[in-house]
Amino acid sequence: MYFLEPPETHAFSLYHDYTESREGVDSYINVVRPGSTVSNPSARVLDTGEPLKTEILKGAAIGAAKIDIGEAVRADTEIVVIRFPPVKKGHSLRLRIAETYTDPSRYRLDGGLLVFVCAEPLDTEAHAARLVDKVLKLRIFADAAGKMNRSVQDVGGGLLVVSQFTLAADTSGGNRPSFTGAAPPALRLRARAGATAADRRRPRGSPASPP
């Protein structure tokens, strides 16, 4: 599960579950993608809630700890290490792991729009096309006079389209929101909306991006 942090932070947080069933294994290692940095790692055992020790190692510290990451260790190589008791034969350990990643060169939105999209059961790809058409033409950027008179196309901005099923939340029936109004094709519609937006923002005569 991913959570976008404010654009100016160039960061996102995530959590994911992992099951280890190999006898004797006593740690989980995540190699951070070059250019990114990791912070706030945490982990716990899903079955008991027990917190686990986490640490961030970089460069020479990885070699000093005699950790094999399956690739050459550079000065800027960074890893997250999560330690736990060795897995017993025939047993398994379920973990929930959380981390925050920052990378100004990749995680950014330059003068554009962050668009949260949720599809509902009666939505179609035609709805997605109309949505994109509207978003691209909304005059919500300031012109030279300071008036909201320019579209994202006019300013050459980008679109970051994010699938967000919680937009379909129904809170009318009590204190627990229902999300049954969010359609299963939400992710497909989001992808279609993104592709349509890219097509319409591409200058005439330029080749389409490869699939």
CB atoms within 10 A of CB 162: 13
> Is 164 known to be catalytic?
yes
CB atoms within 10 A of CB 93: 22
**Catalytic hit among 77, 141, 165, 196:** 165
> Is 19 known to be catalytic?
no
> Is 153 known to be catalytic?
no
Q: How far apart are CA 119 and CA 117, in angstroms?
A: 7
7: helix, coil or strand?
helix
**Catalytic hit among 100, 164, 171, 179:** 164
Q: How far apart are CA 50 and CA 82, in angstroms?
A: 13
Bridging pattern class, strands 159-163 and 113-117: parallel
**Catalytic hit among 3, 9, 124, 166:** 166
Q: Which residues form the catalytic set? A: 164-166
